[in-house]
Structure 1
Amino acid sequence: MKEIKKALTFEDILLIPAYSEVLPKEVNLKTNLTKHITLNSPFVSAAMDTVTEHRTAISIARMGGIGIIHKNMDTSAQINEVKKVKKSESGVINDPIYIQADRTLADAKLITDNYKISGVPVVDKDGKLIGILTNRDTRFESDLSKQVGEVMTKAPLITAKENTSLEVAKDIMHSHKIEKLPIVNENNILKGLITIKDIQKRIEYPNSNKDDFGRLRVGAAIGVFQVERARALAEAGVDVIVLDSAHGHSLNVLKTIELIKKQLSVELIVGNVVTKEATRDLINAGADGIKVGIGPGSICTTRIIAGVGMPQISAIMDCASEAKKHNIPIIADGGIKYSGDVAKAIALGASCVMIGSLLAGCEEAPGDIVIYQGRQYKSYRGMGSIGAMTSGSSDRYFQEGVAKEKLVPEGIEGRVPYRGKIADIIFQLEGGLRSSMGYLGSKDIPSLWNKVEFVQITSAGLRESHVHDVDITKEAPNYHG
């Protein structure tokens, strides 16, 4: 009979403090998501249909992390979510949305409502800038059948040439009291757009996670053999594809990695796995990042239904030991309840953490706020729940095409307390991580990996760690009993 190994999770351990010259405010949280994509903050929102659509992805990217748009929608809808993130802000919008003068105000309203923008440049059939349509032009217009050309602010307009810096653009907009500055070439062809809102957002969110064009970064999930979906997402500008499977160490996942890497030039994260052997096989197949975790999530029942999984701390350590040989980051996916869990996951080898339940209760997450017994909640369900699988995630659990009444779920549907804005949650999680790194004397994440020590604790040690022998009269924003 084989030896039964011991495995540990977050509540089984504590990190040992060390001599430190590092203050929490001095800590650098920059880390890698994949081989070539970095994050300014090590937080990733889960590819779940009650967690991440464009609002969540925008908010977490502004805080320095990244959101992964779930795949429980058709390809065109998922692409639209990605585009909403990419269009939400930019240093210079290099492919601005535009409209032609013979279109109606109703057409313009569809565009502005869909992309949450306040105006669009107007071009002729050759792409030359001939006007701009803003809220100021349409505010008192009730006849939406009018053509854009009748209402727009016409040329000559205040414009700037290509390669104009944001500082110069800001001065131009300030001096002319305008909020949008079209960028044109020597032939007056529209080439870009700078908005005052984007400049203000750069000041408001200095840590935001952006691509080389100044757009917020975003990822999107796909299933096995969804190569054409991956291609369409890549063409839409997605920064990273997440090949999402409950069991990443499987033949079809490996085949899909090879197909995608052979056909597309896109960063690819693959999961989920919990062993060094699985990590090695996915990396050898071409994965640029590894997602770790089977069964640690609050709404996941895989470990109970299938009897399969690995406590998350041991899974992280096992996978990280292999991934670091190849310089490939791992993402710890699931089981995070407190900022201390984030610190433990990263200290023991993860480059970043994927979060579901803590963000599902936020204002930006999909779904409405509901009132139950006088308190506010939002719905939260596992992608292995009956509801999620019938909406499109059954392939993640190898049950694609199975009738609803024959599905074997590996997750539940529930509700979580309403938690307010994502920015506030990330602020507290970051604060806890910074505090931990201060205790450990680590100025950045790589130095944390190299020096951390930890102890296994007993149930008595866990009780001692939590609040005890007192009634909480005022809840803290980062702790719940």
Structure 2
Amino acid sequence: MTEIEIGRSKRARPAYNLDDIAIVPSRRTRDPEAVSVAWRIDAYTFDTPVLAAPMDSVVSPATAIEIGRLGGLGVLDLDGLWTRYDDPAPLLAEIAELPEAGVTKRLQEMYSAPIREELIATRIAEIRAGGVTVAAALSPVRTAQFAKAVVDAGVDIFVIRGTTVSAEHVPAPESTREPLNLKQFIYELDVPVIVGGCSTYQAALHLMRTGAAGVLVGFGGGAAHTTRDVLGVRVPMASAIADVAAARRDYMDESGGRYVHVIADGGMGRSGDLPKAIACGADAVMVGSPLARATEAPGHGAHWGIEATHAELPRGERVQLGTVGPLAQILHGPSSQPDGTMNLVGALRRAMATTGYSDLKEFQRVEVVVNAAR
């Protein structure tokens, strides 16, 4: 791969965002109704390859149920307000109305309340009562502490999600807390685990070797994320997805055929980003800001991630997105907006139909081009 010389002592390879690439039409087209966007991970099949990001502005128990009924998978954030407060609705409404100057401090105050195990069980039970697949997420730092409560409560899919998750964490010399051994942890669980984020070939390969059913690619929370500004850490999504897809291919050879799902997480604000993510090799996508615009979203049109609440070094912000329509319309249309904020699944179907592909695995082979002018 061609590298660029930054200076005499440093070289780097070019990397691309989803905005930098485009899908190329082929000689064949299909009717959108003849296209399948179904997705399966472990024992669970979904009509659409869309996961709702575990963010308090996006997923509540009620919206997790509705997203499940619409064919997707809503992932509840167990680090969030729903497991800290009996009724977080007034706090969610307050966050949406906070003046810009006081947002971060108030978020830090709200999220300083302890996570309560009984509320973990309560929230998972609420989603299960809706008759949909139950998925819930914890950050790596809290996974060991609360994992048993999550599994005992009956979660179907366990998500371990952080800004950057590795299979090899080196603790501080004075630390008394044992780092999470992902391989042992996943081996001992009776439920499939999705873990991430990661953004490089090597990191993804290590996560796949832990036994994860899926890996998240990216840093999550794209619209509300400031990790690049705060830490200087970021890999553009198109290149990150393609690199991790290469790790999936090589891990299949290494493991004798075990397939690990690649889920693009973050940076997908418009419907056109979904087919481009899958074209780069993703099996499914995790989205936040498009669903935060739903009239049912718990954030009331505001959007933020758990990184924005960090007590020492927040790496996110609350952004005001507004609302465009109900979840059903955002996912399946009909769209009343020409800007890609509605009918996400319909846009994916039409992109696949326009290029002549009949299912998601086939569509991963579609030709893409780079916009050299960007």
Cα deviation digits, residues 41-75 of structure 1 (max 9, x gap): 01100011111111121111111110110022233
Per-residue CA deviations over 1:241-263 (Å, capped at 9, x if unaligned) read: 11112111253498342342243
After superposition, residues 388-399 of structure 1 pair within 5 angstroms as 388-389=309-310
CA contact (8 A) 1:336 1:342 kept: yes
**1:219 and 2:151 are equivalent in the alignment:** no
1:309 to 230, 234, 241: 234
- 8 Å Cα contact 2:59-2:297 kept in structure 1: yes
Asked if structure 1 preserves the Cα contact closer than 8 Å seen for 2:279 and 2:368, the reply is no
Alignment of 1:361 onto 2:293? yes
Aligned-pair CA distance for 1:288: 1.2
What is the letter of the counterpart of residue 5 of structure 1?
Answer: R
Which of the residues 302, 318, 328 maps onto 1:379?
302
Q: 1:274 is matched by which residue type in structure 2?
A: S
Aligned length: 305
Given that residues 224 and 304 in structure 2 are in contact (C-alpha distance below 8 angstroms), is that contact kept between their aligned partners in structure 1? yes
Determine the C-alpha separation between the residues in 2 that align with 1:282 and 1:341.
25
1:339 aligns with 2:271: yes
Counterpart CA distance in 1 for 2:74 and 2:149 is 18
Distance 1:275 1:39 in 2: 27
Do 1:242 and 1:270's aligned partners in 2 also have CA atoms closer than 8 Å? yes
Name 2:64's counterpart in structure 1.
Answer: 57
2:358 aligned residue: 443
Amino acid at match of 1:435: R
Whose radius of gyration is greater, 1 or 2? Answer: 1
The equivalent position to 2:18 in structure 1, one of 10, 13, 17, is 10
Specify which of 18, 24, 27 is matched with residue 19 of structure 1.
Answer: 27
Secondary structure, counterpart of 1:417 in structure 2 = coil
For 1:434 and 1:238, the matched residues in 2 are separated by 30
Q: 1:79 to 1:5 in 2, by over 3 A?
A: same
Specify the SS of the correspondent of 2:57.
Answer: coil
Kept in 1, the 8 Å contact 2:187–2:211? The answer is no
**Residue number among 264, 268, 281 corresponding to 2:189 in the alignment:** 264
Alignment partner of 1:348 out of 280, 283, 288: 280
- Residue 210 (structure 2) pairs with residue 300 (structure 1): no
Q: Which residue of 2 aligns with 1:233?
A: 150
The match for 1:43 is 50
Query: Which residue of the partner structure matches residue 340 of structure 2?
Result: none
Correspondence for 2:124: 82
Cα drift, residue 363 of structure 1: 2.5
Q: Provide the rounded CA distance (Å) in 1 between the counterparts of 2:42 and 2:180.
A: 21
Query: SS state of the match for residue 330, structure 1?
Result: strand
Q: Post-superposition shift, 1:283?
A: 1.0
Verify the 8 A CA contact 2:221 2:288 in the aligned structure 1: no
Secondary structure in 2 matching 1:243: strand
- Matched-pair contact (CA < 8 Å) for 1:45–1:359: yes
State, as a whole percentage, how many aligned pairs show the same letter. 32
Q: CA deviation at 1:2?
A: 4.1
Matching residue's letter, 2:360: I
The one-letter amino acid paired with 2:139 is G
> Is 1:412 aligned to 2:324, yes or no?
no
Pick from 408, 426, 431: which aligns with 2:346? 431
- 1:376-435: per-residue Cα shift (whole Å, max 9, x none)? xx22112211xx33xxxxxxxxxxxxxx4xx11111112211122111101100110011
Work out whether residues 35 and 329 of structure 1, in 8 Å CA contact, stay in contact via their aligned partners in 2. no
Among candidates 448, 453, 456, match of residue 367 of structure 2: 453
Would the alpha carbon gap of residues 47 and 296 (structure 1) be closer, same or farther in structure 2, given more than 3 Å must change?
Answer: closer
Q: Which runs of 5+ in 2 are unaligned?
A: 1-8, 84-114, 171-178, 253-258, 333-342
Partners of 1:236 and 1:295 lie apart in 2 by 26
SS at structure 2 position matched to 1:50? coil
Match of 2:88 in 1: none
Give the superposition deviation at 1:21.
4.5
Give the corresponding residue for 1:422: 327
Task: Describe the superposition over 1:316-361 as per-residue Cα deviations: whole angstroms up to 9, x where unpaired.
Answer: 0000111134311111001112211100001111111111111112
**Secondary structure in 1 matching 2:247:** helix
What are the superposed Cα offsets for residues 157-211 of structure 1, whole Å, 9 maximum, x if unpaired? xxxxxxxxxxxxxxxxxxxxxxxxxxxxxxxxxxxxxxxxxxxxxxxxxxxxxxx
Deviant stretches of 4+, over 4 Å: none
- Indicate which of 283, 286, 289 corresponds to 2:214: 289
Structure 2 residue matching 1:291: 3-state secondary structure = strand
The SS at the match of 1:269 is: strand
Gaps of 5+ in 1: 89-214, 370-377, 390-403, 461-481
Q: Which amino acid aligns with 1:69?
A: L
- One-letter code aligned to 1:456: V
Distance in structure 1 (CA, Å) of the matches to 2:145 and 2:231: 31
Residues of 2 paired with 1:337 and 1:263: CA distance? 36
TM-score (norm. length: structure 2): 0.77
Q: Is the 8 A contact 2:218 2:237 kept in 1?
A: yes
Indicate if the aligned counterparts of 2:64 and 2:74 stay in contact, CA closer than 8 A.
yes
